[in-house]
Amino acid sequence: MLGLRRDGGPDLTVSVAEPRKSPLPAVEPAPIPETELVHAVAGRLRLRVPTIAADPAYADRLAGLIGSEQDVLGVRVSRPAASIAVRYRPSVGDAALRSRLEQHVRSARGTALSGGRKDDRPGVGEGRWRGLGLPAITAGLALLGGPLGFAVPAPLIAGAVAVAALPIARRAVHSVRVERKLNIDVLDMTAITLTTMRGSYLAPAVMISLVEIGEAIRERTARASRREALDLLGSMAHSVWLERGGDRQQVPIDRVAAGDTVVVYPGDRIPVDGRILDGRGLIDEHQLTGEAMPVLREEGERVYASTLMREGHLHIGVEQVGDETRAGRIIRLMQDAPVHDTRIEDYAAKVADRAVLPAFLLSGAVLLATRNPARAASILITDLMTGIRVSVPTAVLAALTSAARQGILIRSGRALEQLAGVDAVVFDKTGTLTRGQPTVAAVEAVDDEMPSADVLALAATAEQRLTHPVAEAVVRYARERGVSPGRRHGWRYEIGLGVRAIIEGRTVLVGSDRLLEQEGIDLDRLPPPAAGGGSRIYVAADGRLCGAMTYIDPPRPESEAVVAALSESHGIEVHMLTGDKSHTARAVAESIRIDRANTHAELFPEEKAEVVRGLRAAGKTVAFVGDGVNDLPALAYADIAVSFGGATDVARETADVVLMDDDLRGLPHAIDSARHALRLVRQNIGIVAGTNLGAIGLAAAGSLGPVAAAVIHNGSTIVAGANGLRPLAEPAGKASESSRRGWPMIEEERHG
């Protein structure tokens, strides 16, 4: 029994049920020495963490980890004060939250939050952009010394052109000597050489600038061809409580081996796979299995790394650690998945390369027939594909930027290309199509002696300040309906069963059917719950059943409209996968109008991946939407992986598309943006090809000189490039016309 005072109220007598077997003497986790609680009030606390002042990257990681907590409402970091302020739901237990925050303080030391992949290839990224300076200067000198008539020495301009053309020359030499083929770089370098030798510097200078701009944009939109190694377990548990010889000590996770005993406290993530030796605990397995509700695990049962200990106190016999755990095997399966990296920009480059030989043959034929190098150079300058190589990546980059303004992170041109072709979308259920947390759906009373409002008041009074998700849902539901919890004068919580409390002199039970049946209370006075209609907790007072509450994991408010938009307006086949029971999956699928034939339940992570692979084998281009560790194999095997900004770090890192606002409505917008970008690409190809084919005909007939050819060629490139920038002209957050026509329900809901 423990006497407590809260907010000046009366003493509350609290007792907590003991485990079936007396555990070894409890040793509480030692506080982190460099973490200090500055102050705390209901719903808000401030911690002082000296590392914040010294390490900005650590501060960012810590803020991201804490902000990802479901119960945290806001995080504010002050580096000068070395502190972090956290706003959270007042219904969350202070002790449980503190424990989770201290775990994040430890984890942030070795966790690199994924803000996006970085490409480590030479010449990609910032270095490529910096390399555009010399071509720009060269074009400026040629313009000053040519049309503007300034006295710029010709040797200076020629030297600048030669130096600026070196990257193109290196690529051309590599193509001829190593790849043994003629590509667009060889064609460009030949045209640059011929025009420069004739003393015409403006055309080659502008040409060099456009080519390098195109290369920079193309590389900017490319995704690295290798999938980075992801250390899931390293980001979750760096140290554990190890018990040896009756003593407990905190040790690094890499010092734990099979046969050891680890101790896990509330708020900790379980660091190993193993069997419970002593104690019982309520464990949230959502991120690993997709099961929405926490499950009770007792002595002799297995537990798994990466799952979260909600309540209880466990001694676990270690069986697997690191890569050998179930979570580790999921990571390996994800890493072994093929990387489908077919960039749309590469398609343009391949088409360009195919046009090189015909351009050389035509230019050579004109040179032989006319003995006029100017005509031959004009044909080479008006090649079809330099403009395509510039305008296609420009359209892709503009589409990526426009999507980012709407809170949709599309990681690469390859992702945009695949997204445009999606004809099957597979959703995980828990936390993706549903909220991922329990919500009370209905309150039933047994008779008129105690109406449903009184049943709810009794339950909320008994459940207040408990950290169980269902207890929090009951209290939240009561407050939403103006029912304030009363006073309880003694309570006892039994893990996995429910709570006993003394309320206004009555002994109240709130919990599972097992709890009430243990007390001999007859539940037959209530009709059985409907199949798939949710789960129940019961309320009894003084040995008599009063009523029950049904709770569910409700669909997101936008789920039904998004499913309708994808299937009806976009012509996309929609599937749902889950580890939940079949009746629960069917109930959710029916509520958001997913066909029963496309609803797949009771699946392990590996089986989710098999569903995705089966759809791909049937010729579908598959997008998978998920947020947890259990979704990783399916995310990896899909053509396009979609996740949320608030998902686990590893799911967010795996994803090709990240919905940063955690709103499914971003998915149809992303598909619309991708399809619009592909239409712009086709338009740009038409603009460049049509204009330059006409210019080639004129050049072959001798009616077009090198400078005019360069003007037409570069002009068409500029027009196509400007056309590709059209997505940037749309206001942020504005959907395309086709999108708004395709799913008015969503727009009305958003603005209604």
Catalytic residue ranges: 428
The answer to whether 158 and 192 have CB atoms below 8 angstroms apart is: no
Amino acid identity, residue 106?
Answer: R
**Backbone dihedral angles phi then psi of residue 128, each to the nearest 5 degrees:** -65, -40
Cα distances (angstroms) measured from residue 551 to each of 240, 472, 485: 35, 11, 19
At residue 444, the 3 state secondary structure works out as strand
Rounded CA separation 360/337 (Å): 42
353 C-beta neighbours (distance < 10 Å), count: 19
Three-point CA angle 445, 451, 456, nearest 5°: 75
Rounded CA separation 676/684 (Å): 12
Rounded CA separation 680/511 (Å): 59
Rounded CA separation 73/1 (Å): 33
| List of E strands, 313-438 | 314-320, 408-410, 424-428
SS (H, E, C) 614-647: HHHHCCCCEEEECCCHHHHHHHHHCCEEEEECCC
**Furthest-apart CA atoms within the chain: distance in Å:** 111
The answer to whether 335 and 230 have CB atoms below 8 angstroms apart is: yes
* Count of residues in the chain: 752
Handedness of CA 132, 135, 137, 140 (dihedral sign): negative
At residue 15, the 3 state secondary structure works out as strand
658 C-beta neighbours (distance < 10 Å), count: 27
Rounded CA separation 515/624 (Å): 40
Rounded CA separation 429/602 (Å): 11
Rounded CA separation 388/719 (Å): 11
H or E element: which one contains 509?
strand 506-511
**Backbone dihedral angles phi then psi of residue 27, each to the nearest 5 degrees:** -125, 115
Rounded CA separation 37/41 (Å): 11
The residue to which tokens 């060099």 are assigned: 208
Rounded CA separation 278/19 (Å): 8
